Amino acid sequence: MVYRTRTYIAADWDHDFDAVDQLRKWNDSGYWSLSFTDAHELHQSRDTSKPCNIKASLRQRMDASKRFVLVVGDHTDTVTKGSCQWCWSYRRGYKLCNVGKYVTFESYIENECRMAKEASVEIVVLYNSARVNRSLCPEVIRDCGVHAPMKSRRKGYLDWDYQQVKMALGM
């Protein structure tokens, strides 16, 4: 039996790493009271692995998670990384996988969102901005869970909003 004790963080790592990094800073700091165990500490996959192998690793992380946090930015809903179309094993002319795996055009983010919904874990969607724009969120969880901005406008500029994130995470 697997105990679900971890928090799974998903994001467009190419564009929203700053927001994920801020979450981890708040979590690792002794001053801030965010406290979660990151599911990404369980298994590591190399970027050179096939998408199907990486998705299997993501499944193991999700199986150990009680909470799914998606960081949404301007590009999240259009990311295609993880789709079989980018794998060297995919035969375009036949729409088949050379190694006999199931062919899917789901990105890593779409796959993670679908797994979270199927696993019935707590879903928290944090926007790397000062407002919630659900049209940027993948459709599968667009109407699920808690949606909150990670930033707020203070004295004319955007700044991280720890209290808003803490409330969204229920801590």
Q: What is the DSSP string of 36-76?
A: --BGGGT----TTS-HHHHHHHHHHHHHTEEEEEEEE-TTG
Beta-strand pair 96-97/122-127: unpaired
| 91-146: pLDDT as tens digits | 777 777 777 676 777 889 999 999 999 999 999 999 999 999 999 999 999 999 99
Q: Averaged over 35-47, what is the pLDDT?
A: 69
What whole-number distance in Å separates Cα of residue 18 and Cα of residue 142?
Answer: 22
What whole-number distance in Å separates Cα of residue 39 and Cα of residue 10?
Answer: 10
Whether the per-residue pLDDT at 22 is higher than 60: the answer is: yes
pLDDT of residue 66: 93
Alpha-carbon Rg for the chain, nearest whole angstrom, is: 17
Which of 85-89, 105-109, 158-162 has maximum average pLDDT?
Answer: 158-162
What whole-number distance in Å separates Cα of residue 32 and Cα of residue 36?
Answer: 12
Q: pTM for this structure?
A: 0.87
Q: Select 6-168's CATH number: 2.170.120, 2.60.40, 1.20.81, 3.40.50.
A: 3.40.50
How confident is residue 44, by pLDDT bands cut at 50, 70 and 90? low
